């Protein structure tokens, strides 16, 4: 393990942390603007031109707000819960290839922190650990709304992990590897090689499950503002609440990277155009998260369970079986 590798890794980690923390902040601005335009409003307009500095103002507000720990809570768990959400979101990013490898000053850079050969399982597993944040925060808060939200987090986690795994299994069987770089190389030949054409069902299922994993509308029931206040976030204030926010938005960005890498060809042949293509796909999937929030109502918890266990999971299992038969004969 030479020092060049060490320095390179540390630089990559710092860059990913900075870029995606900032993107999480800017993401909130985009979300408010997109929602506003879809609802015929203006959205944030006062801070800076077109309100672009709004996320800076929000950041200052969050950083300077008093950090309140209520007396009834289980303090150590209450304090660590937001950190889990934010930290696991960034830990998952360690196995995502963000761009094709490029040369800078004659030094070849691979924009992936660690190319472990089980990337996709690692990413899904660590993202799943992220749901411990809402769960622990909700259970430690000593608040009934938070407890309801924690119970929902556990239920959503246990159900949708199954769908995500089974949906990802079919393309994994086709590629025969768990590394996202292998996935990308498998689809590098162009649009006709994309896995989505041979696995459309798995693509749709994975996409639906991604909404549940990130806790976005229509599966926003973990922190449903209009029925359980802010769920696990009810007792939080200041930067601790902000960490939940950063974790949620970072997760949205990372899952938006994973979906194109798995199904839509990723960065293709590794050219500059391919890299731009990947960023465009990520932007589309991120935009779709916001679009759905404007266009769809939330589902009830029992409908969510019904959808998962009676519709999505059987379809996913059948998809895996059919894929197996097709590959065998």
158 binds another protein (CB under 8 A): yes
Query: Which range binds another protein by CB under 8 A, 28-36, 130-138, 183-191, 280-288?
Result: 130-138
The C-alpha atoms of residue 89 and residue 250 are separated, in whole angstroms, by 6
The burial class, CB within 10 Å (0-12 / 13-18 / 19+), for 109 is middle
What phi and psi values does residue 60 have, to the nearest 5 degrees? -60, -40
Compute how many other C-beta atoms are within 10 angstroms of the C-beta atom of residue 219. 27
Closest to another protein by CB, 41 or 310: 310
316 binds another protein (CB under 8 A): no
297 binds another protein (CB under 8 A): no
Closest to another protein by CB, 126 or 275: 126
Give yes or no for a cis peptide into 34 (omega within 30° of 0): no
Beta strands in 85-159 (DSSP E): 102-104, 107-109
150 binds another protein (CB under 8 A): yes
103 binds another protein (CB under 8 A): no
Contact with another protein (CB under 8 A) among 38, 46, 300, 314: 300
132 binds another protein (CB under 8 A): yes
136 binds another protein (CB under 8 A): yes
93 binds another protein (CB under 8 A): no
Closest to another protein by CB, 140 or 170: 140
Closest to another protein by CB, 24 or 170: 170
122 binds another protein (CB under 8 A): yes
121 binds another protein (CB under 8 A): yes
Max CA pair span of the chain: 64
Closest CA to 199 of 291, 312, 319: 319
The distance of closest approach from Cβ of residue 155 to another protein in the complex, given in angstroms and rounded to an integer, is 8
163 binds another protein (CB under 8 A): no
Total of residues contacting another protein (CB under 8 A): 36
76 binds another protein (CB under 8 A): yes
Closest CA to 223 of 105, 163, 129, 143: 143
254 binds another protein (CB under 8 A): no
Side-chain half-sphere exposure of 89, counting CA atoms within 13 A? 30
Closest to another protein by CB, 243 or 264: 243
Q: What are the respective helix, strand and coil percentages of the chain, to the nearest 5?
A: 75, 0, 25
161 binds another protein (CB under 8 A): yes
The burial class, CB within 10 Å (0-12 / 13-18 / 19+), for 238 is middle
Compute how many other C-beta atoms are within 10 angstroms of the C-beta atom of residue 266. 30
181 binds another protein (CB under 8 A): no
Side-chain half-sphere exposure of 100, counting CA atoms within 13 A? 19
Contact with another protein (CB under 8 A) among 89, 93, 94, 139: 139
Give the interface with another protein as residue ranges (CB under 8 A). Answer: 1, 72-74, 76-77, 116-118, 121-122, 124-126, 128-129, 131-132, 135-136, 139-140, 142, 147, 150-151, 154-155, 157-158, 161, 165, 177-178, 300, 302
């Amino acid at each position: 393990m030479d020092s060049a590798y060490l320095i390179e890794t540390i630089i990559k980690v710092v860059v990913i942390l900075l870029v995606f923390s900032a993107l999480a902040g800017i993401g909130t601005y985009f979300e408010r603007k997109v929602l506003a335009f879809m609802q015929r409003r203006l959205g944030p307009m006062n801070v800076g031109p077109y309100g672009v500095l709004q996320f800076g103002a929000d950041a200052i507000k969050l950083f300077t707000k008093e950090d309140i720990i209520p007396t009834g809570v289980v303090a150590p768990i209450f304090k660590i819960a937001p950190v889990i959400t934010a930290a696991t979101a960034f830990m998952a990013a360690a196995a995502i290839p963000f761009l094709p490898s490029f040369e800078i000053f004659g030094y070849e850079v691979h924009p992936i922190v660690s190319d472990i050969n089980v990337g996709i399982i690692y990413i899904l597993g660590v993202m799943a650990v992220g749901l411990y944040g809402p769960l622990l925060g909700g259970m430690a808060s000593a608040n009934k709304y938070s407890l309801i939200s924690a119970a929902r987090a556990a239920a959503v986690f246990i159900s949708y992990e199954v769908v995500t795994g089974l949906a990802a299994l079919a393309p994994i069987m086709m590629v025969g590897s768990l590394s996202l770089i292998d996935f990308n190389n498998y689809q590098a030949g162009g649009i006709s090689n994309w896995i989505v054409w041979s696995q459309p069902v798995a693509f749709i299922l994975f996409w639906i499950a991604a909404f549940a994993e990130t806790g976005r509308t229509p599966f926003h029931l973990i922190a449903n503002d209009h029925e359980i206040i802010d769920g696990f976030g009810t007792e939080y204030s200041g930067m601790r609440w902000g960490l939940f926010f950063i974790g949620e938005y970072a997760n949205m960005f990372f899952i938006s990277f994973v979906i194109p890498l798995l199904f839509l060809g990723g960065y293709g042949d590794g050219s500059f155009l391919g890299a731009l293509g990947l960023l465009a796909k990520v932007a589309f999937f991120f935009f779709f998260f916001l679009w759905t929030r404007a266009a769809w109502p939330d589902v009830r918890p029992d409908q969510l369970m019904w959808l998962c266990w009676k519709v999505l999971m059987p379809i996913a299992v059948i998809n895996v079986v059919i894929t197996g038969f097709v590959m065998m004969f």
